[in-house]
Chains A and B, each alone.
Chain A
């Protein structure tokens, strides 16, 4: 009975799609007329990101949407869970199930069927996406309850879930790309949800455009892949690797090219250097959107893609090095930016970029399992952090600046407790999920044959910085004296159940989520690694490397990273609880350094001057010189030529019969002449 569930694999993306259709119909036929009527009556809208405006009389459709939105994702989660159980019931060698939905593309030798593939890797992804996604949908019901465009939000959120599921369940790179583009689109739609606000619509555009640059790399990689392998289906590509390597078709250079191009796409989607600039701006969107898209799911698409292509990456030491280096650099780079930010969501945004750097660092040193492990644990605690920050913002009537918070511990107990747990997890405190995953990454960065001491050092340093800025966030927000504005303080209240229950569930997951991957040195069985072995087993040589290193070294490094984290926490405690005037003093001592870091190293400004301006100027030139002058000139020129010709030809119409007779005569002469000449 349970094995039969795999025939219903299509329900996993299908149910959110159903949600899109139903909610879409409601949005189009119930909500849109309502909103247009209200706008026509000139009523004051309040779609600017904060709650506690006038409560509109809730229209009946909202209850329906509030049910359909989360329910479809929840049902998809149930199906995912049953499917994964069915998969686990098979023997480890048999854990690959492909369900072909329809042929899609059949062009000569090229075949890309629309098919879903369930294997250990995609099973982890679907559980994370549907599970965390469901909790975020439920949270959104409470968070967005004051919004006018309620149905539109859930349409986009369901659409996003659908696209993400297509991305992770697709059985070939082309279907993955469809999902890839889909999540990019939904990210644009959701970041720009409050599109009347210019900064929000600009952020949406920025996200989409920067992603597009990465997608360009992805597409080129896809072309090169197809040109080399003749197919884009995962199973076929990976099966052909030994053969094509042997007969020289798949050279290291080609593998490097393909993987680097794919990685360019990953830097766009997963916000690594150089294409991370969209993610901090993306905080313009509603907080649940930040939680879902920019913490738990979409940004992890790049990591998934690299992990899925691990066989290709392992062929190219250059690519592995690039991935690891970029990941490590991004981790430390954005962590340093995080320590100076005052907007609570910005801190979390830079934290996300930094943690994604860890995941790529893991993949770059061959520890793909560790990367996916961190992806999963990060989904739990980062989503929790974002949702918690949303709860704080909701409680403070829209205030996001941490300098205007403080002493919220007593006002928002549940939010505080859950966020504190998440902060412990992200800092890598032993026992919690983040510790196991981060530690495995650091260990592999040190010990794997693709690893390096420098990578480990950078990672450990970034871990310390992470602990620092996260605890800074907690101390500024929840502890100390209240720095809130008086009218904000009057309305402070804990969030409703629809918002706090997901927080609590995510807190539980943040604690126990890492227990599936307890490493052997600490006495665990690392079930996670065993589960993912069929996908990463072949060629993940780093797995065996651990046997050559003494246990003491591993434990020692583990203790070292914990010590670094504790140092970070201690420093944060000192600066933000004991000597609270110190941060300002330090900033004043090194004003230029502080400015540079506070302004995100001016990266956006540099991009603007050197890249964006140039492109815009080029466009303007093309518009003026090429389009307006040249092309319009040709079109207008043709029209003028025709008019001129007509002007000349009309003079034949003299109205005098004799002239017409002459033309007949002339014609006759010419025709007879032609006949004679032949």
Chain B
């Protein structure tokens, strides 16, 4: 089956993840939306890689996963630190960089 359907799916997953990042205020949900975005990207990699018969696609997806793990860990650590300080997980209240 040709990969364009997979690519469309990848795009849809990515779009849903982006909506989550943009529209939600809960930091945890935002981080989870990022994970969805990364998954969408992985789908694209695997689809094209398997279509072309190149393991590079899988390798790349592997790297993405590794990075996603590291990023989730660090991101959650930051979240905990902020929660201790500010007692909130609402992104709109974490706006010290406001004009």
- A-side interface residues toward B, CB under 8 Å? 650-659, 661-662, 665
Contacts and interface: CB of A to CB of B under 8 A. Distances in A.
B13 interface: no
A661 B21 contact: yes
B46 to A, nearest CB: 22
Contact of B95 (A650, A655, A662): A655
A659 B21 CA distance: 9
Interface string B70-99: 000000000000000000000110111111
Contact of A654 (B18, B21, B22, B98): B98
A655 B94 contact: yes
B95 A656 contact: yes
Given A655-B95, A655-B97, 12 more contacts: A650-B99, A651-B99, A653-B97, A653-B98, A654-B95, A656-B91, A657-B21, A657-B91, A658-B23, A658-B24, A658-B25, A659-B22
Contacts of B18: 661, 665
B43 interface: no
Contacts of B21: 657-658, 661
Contacts of B92: 656
Most chain A beta carbons < 10 A, residue from B22, B24, B91: B22
Nearest to B96: A655
Contacts of B94: 655, 657
Contacts of B44: none
A25 B55 CA distance: 87
B86 to A, nearest CB: 13
B41 interface: no
Contacts of A652: 99
A116 B99 CA distance: 72
B95 A658 contact: no
Nearest to B18: A665
Contacts of B23: 658
A650 B22 CA distance: 20
Given A665-B18, A665-B22, A657 B98 contact: no
B99 A653 contact: yes
B36 interface: no
A552 B25 CA distance: 122
A229 B30 CA distance: 84
Nearest to A650: B99
B87 to A, nearest CB: 18
23 contacts: A650-B99, A652-B99, A653-B98, A653-B99, A654-B95, A654-B98, A654-B99, A655-B94, A655-B95, A655-B96, A655-B99, A656-B91, A656-B92, A657-B21, A657-B30, A657-B91, A658-B21, A658-B22, A658-B24, A658-B25, A661-B21, A661-B22, A662-B22
Contact of A655 (B22, B24, B30, B98): B98
Contacts of A659: 22
Contacts of A654: 95, 98-99
Most chain A beta carbons < 10 A, residue from B18, B23, B99: B99
A658 B91 contact: yes
Interface string B42-75: 0000000000000000000000000000000000
Contact of A658 (B30, B96, B99): B30
A665 B19 CA distance: 10
Contacts of B22: 658-659, 661-662, 665
Nearest to A666: B22
